[in-house]
Structure 1
Amino acid sequence: MLSSLPFPRLRQALGPLLLALATVLCLLPFVALCWYAHPSADDFLQATDVHKHGRWGYMPHMYLTWTGRYTSIVLWALLNPVQYGGNITGGYGAICLLLLLALPAALYVLLRTLLADEFRRRTLWLSSGVLTSLLLWQLPSPAEAFYWIVSGYNYLLPALLTLLWLAVLARHAGAISPTEKRNWLALAGVLAVVIIGCNETNAVPIAVGVTGFTVLRCLRQRRLPWDYVWLSAVVAVACVATFLAPGNFARLGPVHEYSIMESVSKAALSSYRFVCNWLGNGALPALTLLLLPVSCRLWRLPDLPLNRLAQHPWFSTLLMAGSLVLVAFMGWRFNNQALPFRTRNVLYLFFLVGWFLNAHAWARYLWRRTERPAFALPLFVRAGLVLWILGAFIGGHTLTLRGQETTDNYNNVLLAYQDWLGGAAARYDAQLTSRYHALQQPGWLPDDTVVEPLQGPPYTVLFGDITPDVSDWSNQAYAEYFGKKTIRTD
């Protein structure tokens, strides 16, 4: 049947089908690994604190003594399955799965908003699947993104809400009636308050972006854009509530090890390394070239939300670069170290979205000046770019420059399949299930407890386990949760 079709129609039918199959195969192992996820570190710490103070007493206690992340505090208090006892892992994998599946859904909402009705829904879903696959491929740490709930609430969830926030702002900009504009603006304000209350990685770019856009709009229109002035004020109040919380000052670490200039220098170098790692295998530039004909077709639609967002390529590029350096600066200045992987996960997500937005913005800038009616790549160029992407997926990490971490540029999809089908995840699940059962037996284990360390744990799933050091804070949280005096591994 297919052989009787003309070649162009055959290629048109098979191309999306094969791409959809590839995206499903990229997502499949991460979905399967949700059933092997187990709590660790802060999951136990937050659960015991909730038991001590009660759910409603826990919230002000954390805000006053530990952190200003008020949204995260509410999530820790109400939606941490570990605190409900009984089956420790009950509901844990389900929340991991929801956070994972929310990723392509949020990308779909953003794409549908920016591209309006120019593409079919199945095409937009396919595009969100491709973006999800790119993210999973080079994500700095899948374990800290999807399989550690405290990190998921702190970083992944607000990142996804930020994508929805961008979609809401696009809806506000394209609304016609004043009532509709007010409703979208109000929703943008609510989302901003929720997002900023999760972590600084999202808060800082939002604050810089909204303020900068408001100033730019004011200069261009020579009047105050009151809607964005109001949104900037809401963002400022939320940032004050988060950054100046008493808990942030109560847990201040040692004095700054690096001066401001040293922190800026280290932040710039860290950002440079991040970008080199993310672009080093050439997959993103290759895919960008493949999408140039689509960009050329879209730029002539002035009312398209994507084009309104791409009006200022200099601003969007500087915002992405500046936000990356500023977030890295905060790590060096206030924590005296490079950003943790969970923060890099969020940065890579925004870099991925920002890369394609900026690519279209600069391509649009070029199309407008050349007034090119159409743009097409020769077949051999397209074939070469596709082969390059496939080669980078299969073995690109062996060819690119490595960063400071041994897993930089690794293909997480292949590692996830290895952890799943190779049995590492199942062994990890069996070892921890056996440990929980032993720790919960009354009177069988002494207060000073020694347990076997994990053997060959899966890289994709495990964030951290207890150590041989009984004074380690994660050991202490673990011991307190199970009612032991101390606990350690052999």
Structure 2
Amino acid sequence: MTNSTWLKSADNRVKLLIFAFTILLLPFVALSFFTFPTTDDYCHTLTVNDMGYWAYQKHYWLTWSGRYIGTLISATQPLTYGSYFGYKVAPAILLLIYVHAFITFAKALSANKLPTWQTALLAFLMLFVFIAEMPSVAGYIYWYTGYYYTVADISTLYLLAYFFRHYPAITAQNIIVLSLGLILLIGMNEYTLVWLVILCGSLFFFKSIIDKKLHFKFLVLSLVALVFGVLSVTAPGNAARAESGLYPTPLKYNLLFSLKSSFTWEFHNLSKMAPALCVLTLVLIPIACILYTSRKPGEFGFFFVHPAFSLLVFAIALYLSYFPSYWSIAEPPNLRGQCVINFWTLIGWTFNVFVIIFWLLEKERIRPILSLGVLSWVVAFYFFSLYLSNFNYRSAWSDLLTGRAARYNKEMIARTELVLSTKEQQVTVPKLKNMPYTILNVTPDWDPAWASVEVNNGCAEWYFKKKFFYK
């Protein structure tokens, strides 16, 4: 009875959520300080050192990628400044910014109408589900070269929050800010590009159809997204990478294979996330009802769209997230890319739940459900059990508490000192004995710390200018 009374206090709920955020992030922040540059980090460092910062951008634009902002990020490798500590502090900073981004997004989505504890709960659960469903925590949070995926998602939350806050009366100044945000985000990675181009185009098209007039401000956004999307996709580097010997499969550019495989992988990935998303929906429903019943005229206009339109855009954007990868290299998106797709799946799912509830309430198909009641304990039990059983959370605590991550860090320091102190061009390096899954992409095929996905051991060998042998 005492516990029930304690939980009724809004202040106590806020304290509980602060504690929950702390427990959620503690192992991941702590593990940040045991990270080390890996694989392609060395390649990017070497290229920047050899060519210079801006020549590096031109080189990758012509030979590897159209990510005109992504290459700006990957070129800021701390190792170019001789810093190993930068790789340890960067993940911790990104994680803390992620919390702020989700809270900012939750505030904007709810127009600040929810009590503090409920806003924090929404942000917490979204972050919780996202981390639980990451196919590669190492590649998304701890690999510096992959930050043009991570930074894109964080920035997307801020951009969407800005859009939601100003939606009732978007000015020319807002369009300029949103356009600049689109230009930056579209240049970070292909998956963010696909979603933003589709969303901007759909916003203009359906808004104009519904209101029976052309919305020129949204037309500007859709044209900006389309122009810079085309600019990125048609970059010489994308064609060069697709045509390289790295992907010699005859299934490249096979339309039937790409269509079928994209659908199969979309269904597989969505079904994997479905349990957590469905339970999250139980929490979203009363929040949506509270927002609907407390709204003022003109508020939450972005939710007043027919669910058929919203779900159609969501399904198309999700499908097209997979298609370019199968079409160009006949493979599913890399694990970091799938993290971005999962991020958009979470955002799209959440948005559509609100749209559907608003539509049902507007049509008087359901009565407002303002509380989960006893069901809230079922939801709490599910997320608690998910926390205990989920691989990402279990491995994070295991890597930290067993000392595996700390020992790995010591191994890498010793390895680096050995290579730097060896004058010969060939070095025998001890094999890794400690491989923390949370901060390292573990693979049995090559050394996961110094190997390159493209050329075995290439990046670290090129950087240190020595040939490695493992014992």
Partner residue, 1:482: 464
- Provide the C-alpha distance between the structure 1 equivalents of 2:58 and 2:150, rounded to a whole number of angstroms: 24
Partner-residue secondary structure (3-state), 2:33: helix
- Provide the C-alpha distance between the structure 2 equivalents of 1:228 and 1:385, rounded to a whole number of angstroms: 39
- Provide the C-alpha distance between the structure 2 equivalents of 1:378 and 1:231, rounded to a whole number of angstroms: 39
- Provide the C-alpha distance between the structure 1 equivalents of 2:37 and 2:128, rounded to a whole number of angstroms: 25
CA distance change for structure 1 residues 267 and 226 in 2, over 3 Å: closer, same or farther?
same
Partner residue, 1:36: 34
1:217 is aligned to 2:203: no
- Provide the C-alpha distance between the structure 2 equivalents of 1:470 and 1:290, rounded to a whole number of angstroms: 43
1:436 is aligned to 2:416: yes
1:331 is displaced (CA, Å) by 1.6
**8 Å CA contact 2:155, 2:185 repeated in 1:** yes
Q: For structure 1, which segment, 250-259 or 107-116, has the greater mean C-alpha deviation from structure 2 after superposition?
A: 250-259
- Provide the C-alpha distance between the structure 2 equivalents of 1:194 and 1:378, rounded to a whole number of angstroms: 40
- Provide the C-alpha distance between the structure 2 equivalents of 1:91 and 1:304, rounded to a whole number of angstroms: 46
RMSD: 2.5
**One of 71, 74, 80 as aligned partner of 1:83:** 80
Partner residue, 2:178: 188
Q: Percent identity?
A: 25
**One of 136, 141, 145 as aligned partner of 1:146:** 141
1:12 is aligned to 2:40: no
1:256 is displaced (CA, Å) by 5.1
Partner residue, 1:313: 307
Paired residues for 1:91-170 under 5 Å: 91-121=86-116, 123-152=118-147, 154-170=148-164
CA deviations over 1:273-313 (Å, ceiling 9, x no partner): 1011112xx33322322342222221231557545235232
1:250 is displaced (CA, Å) by 2.5
- Provide the C-alpha distance between the structure 2 equivalents of 1:427 and 1:266, rounded to a whole number of angstroms: 41
Counterpart amino acid of residue 151 in structure 1? G
CA deviations over 1:34-89 (Å, ceiling 9, x no partner): 10111111110011111221112222122122211110122223x2102222x4x1
1:345 is displaced (CA, Å) by 0.7
Partner residue, 1:402: none
Partner-residue secondary structure (3-state), 1:251: helix
- Provide the C-alpha distance between the structure 2 equivalents of 1:352 and 1:133, rounded to a whole number of angstroms: 11
Partner-residue secondary structure (3-state), 2:341: helix
Q: For structure 1, which segment, 106-115 or 26-35, has the greater mean C-alpha deviation from structure 2 after superposition?
A: 106-115
- Provide the C-alpha distance between the structure 2 equivalents of 1:378 and 1:119, rounded to a whole number of angstroms: 16
Counterpart amino acid of residue 368 in structure 2? A
Partner residue, 1:295: 288
**Unaligned regions of 5+ residues in structure 1, if any?**
396-409
1:197 is displaced (CA, Å) by 0.7
Partner-residue secondary structure (3-state), 2:468: strand
- Provide the C-alpha distance between the structure 1 equivalents of 2:159 and 2:7, rounded to a whole number of angstroms: 39
- Provide the C-alpha distance between the structure 2 equivalents of 1:378 and 1:205, rounded to a whole number of angstroms: 33
Partner residue, 2:43: 45
How many residues are matched? 460
Partner residue, 2:187: 197
- Provide the C-alpha distance between the structure 1 equivalents of 2:308 and 2:32, rounded to a whole number of angstroms: 41
1:11 is displaced (CA, Å) by 3.5
Paired residues for 1:458-469 under 5 Å: 458-463=436-441, 466=447
- Provide the C-alpha distance between the structure 1 equivalents of 2:70 and 2:7, rounded to a whole number of angstroms: 50
CA distance change for structure 1 residues 264 and 442 in 2, over 3 Å: closer, same or farther?
same
Counterpart amino acid of residue 33 in structure 2? W
CA distance change for structure 1 residues 200 and 10 in 2, over 3 Å: closer, same or farther?
closer
TM-score for both structures, normalised by structure 1: 0.87
**8 Å CA contact 1:20, 1:126 repeated in 2:** no
CA deviations over 1:378-403 (Å, ceiling 9, x no partner): 643333333233333333xxxxxxxx
- Provide the C-alpha distance between the structure 2 equivalents of 1:367 and 1:164, rounded to a whole number of angstroms: 29
- Provide the C-alpha distance between the structure 1 equivalents of 2:359 and 2:420, rounded to a whole number of angstroms: 64
Paired residues for 1:390-405 under 5 Å: 390-395=384-389
1:222 is displaced (CA, Å) by 2.6
TM-score for both structures, normalised by structure 2: 0.90
Partner-residue secondary structure (3-state), 1:449: strand
Partner-residue secondary structure (3-state), 1:455: coil
- Provide the C-alpha distance between the structure 2 equivalents of 1:391 and 1:21, rounded to a whole number of angstroms: 18
**8 Å CA contact 1:148, 1:463 repeated in 2:** no
1:212 is displaced (CA, Å) by 1.7
**8 Å CA contact 1:113, 1:305 repeated in 2:** no
**8 Å CA contact 2:284, 2:350 repeated in 1:** no
**8 Å CA contact 2:451, 2:459 repeated in 1:** no
CA distance change for structure 1 residues 232 and 371 in 2, over 3 Å: closer, same or farther?
same
